[in-house]
Structure 1
Amino acid sequence: MTHMLTDAFCDGSTGIDIKYRIDGEVFNLRRLQAKTKVKTYNIRDLLFADDCALSAGSEVELQNLMNKFSTACSNFDLMINTEKTEVMYQPAHGNVYKEPMIMINGTKLKAAHRFTYLGSTLSQNINIDDEVNSRISMASSSFGRLYANVWHRGGINLQTKLNVYRAAVLPVLLYASETWTIYTRHAKKLNHFHTNCLRKLLKIKRQDKIPDTTVLDRAGIPSINTILMKHQLRWAGHLVRMPDHRMPKILFYSEMSSGKRSRGGQKKRFKDTLKSSIKSFEIKIDSWEKAARDRTSWRSLLRKGAKSCEAARQAASVLRRQKRKASAHESQTVATISCPHCPRLFKARIGLTSHLRVH
């Protein structure tokens, strides 16, 4: 595959240009405004085993790449399966979607709004809603297949069942979550599935009115929020320790060479999610990269941060629950304000004021 791509793009065909600078802090974007230390990198083809993805900044450029790729395949006596080849157009925010017209030897390629690549669901709208739904569906299937042989089997103790859940269900649910850009709605949906599974293992019914914090504490498993943050920080540590020529590290320390963000509310980026996770784990923003270069100390730091983050999350959840109960109790307070002209009682003074108008 590598030799064929070299033959196809020997003239340096364009892809997507990014600019990067590995020295300095990843959250300091001003460093990319330097005129001498910034380097450029072109992302054109992504290879994994026998899978190949081509990327371009416009429809014309992508058609040019496909023409050269098709010619190179013919030179190596290879054939492109047009039924398995799909095209996805991801317009910038605010741009109108237009179905791309990409041809190979006179055959139009299917334009997909989403498709699965290396186990992950990529979406035309550039968010992970479809990926989260797909993960929950597959994890639910994995959980269901083990119901008769593991979850419902009496001869297996609870701790073994929880270990199987950690090994067989959670990895399916959180596959490739290290690179997700998480919104609150995603974490809530994943955590709802997570706690429902644990309730079934612990044989806790909704009628028991046991909160999720107690369920997680009994199972000895943290919430999905904490697990996601730990996964992303662990992956960030791998990126920091990678050799400088590796593409994942270059992408991590880069931004697009062209384009700009509009004013107002912005879509979250992976770096925004990562920065929030670092703060939640009580790690210093200005020194986290230095700490991540030592793998052993970084993993120890993540374990401590995960414990403190989960404890803070549970404490906040308990506080919110207490406030809800107090509010409900106040709304049921017995009426104590009486009318001076009749025996009627009122819970609030505004009710008495309205009532006095008739006297």
Structure 2
Amino acid sequence: MEAGAVSGILNTTLAVVFAWVGYKTARIVWKYTPYSYPNARIKAMEAKLLSEQRFNELAESRTLQNFIVGLEDTDYKDYLTDVSVYTVEEIERALEKALAGTYELMIKILPKRVNPFFRFMLEEWDVRNIASVVKAKFAGEVAGDYVMEIGPMLPKVKAMAEAKTMEEILVILEGTPYEEPYQRLLLGEISLQEFETELYRMHYGKLLSYALSRKDDERVILEEFVRLKIDKANILTVLRAKSAGMTAEEIRPLIIPGGSIKLDPLLHVDDLGMALAELDSTKYGKVIRDVREEVERDLSVLERALERHIIERMNELNRFYPLSVAAPLSYILQKEREVRKLRAIAKLIEDGVHPERIKELAGDVA
């Protein structure tokens, strides 16, 4: 073979190799570099999450004014400065605004290809608010007491709470995804429980569709996150229904599709104990076994255990994919838990509960 031909083959081979290396390098840069800054910032924010010792100190505040002072050196300071009257309601609103600020920060600093997922996550607060307002209206209660200061549709939610008639709420919801299920509720085609389920079904369907549209580790992480959330909702729904003696036919319309475990065996058992036994053979078996005795007395124990399991799973994925969407997902869940705990402590302080008892009860909230 002539030297020129050999040289040509070598040049072509080198060009192919360099092109392949360039492509792989570009893929790595595209996948991981956009997470370098946000994840470094999130790591710094995680270091500022309140410790158990700090919660215990807050539990000893004895007054709401002292409770607010105790948070002056935290990220909540800017939100609590607007509190003019030391009431639980004012403090809760400030904490909810702080949580909304966390979501907005995630949307701002995360890569554009993934931040819509966090916008969709924020919409869950709209679902909670709408469901709470409608249930309060049906029960003849003051709906405004159930509105949380978070969610893209907050102005509409507040208008719903002020509405004089159920039909007025339909006008407020016109043009939103929630108009059609609410109309069906007013027409008596679905129950109040089924209405709430439909809102969550739409929400989780939106999250899952987005997760499945992603690629590589983003899809792996987002899909598992959504399916874990759906599993949590469905497990709690079935167990509460079994505690209430509901039949499989009554429970089935309340199930959200898209979870990772088969629920049909649970629907046909006779009671809560048998349902827990069925869950023992699923991937949630260990989570349930760890709290089994307490769960039979109080299902909220399992709710907290499942929430901790989701956080732990996101932390595992974060270790496996260190520059990924797992870190912000884990942080959001931890921040939500922190806010729940702070709300609980503030309420117990207002109720005059002894500090040692507050520490015990606030620990249960986590």
TM-score by structure 1 length? 0.25
Q: Which has the higher strand share?
A: 1
Query: Radius of gyration: which is bigger?
Result: 1
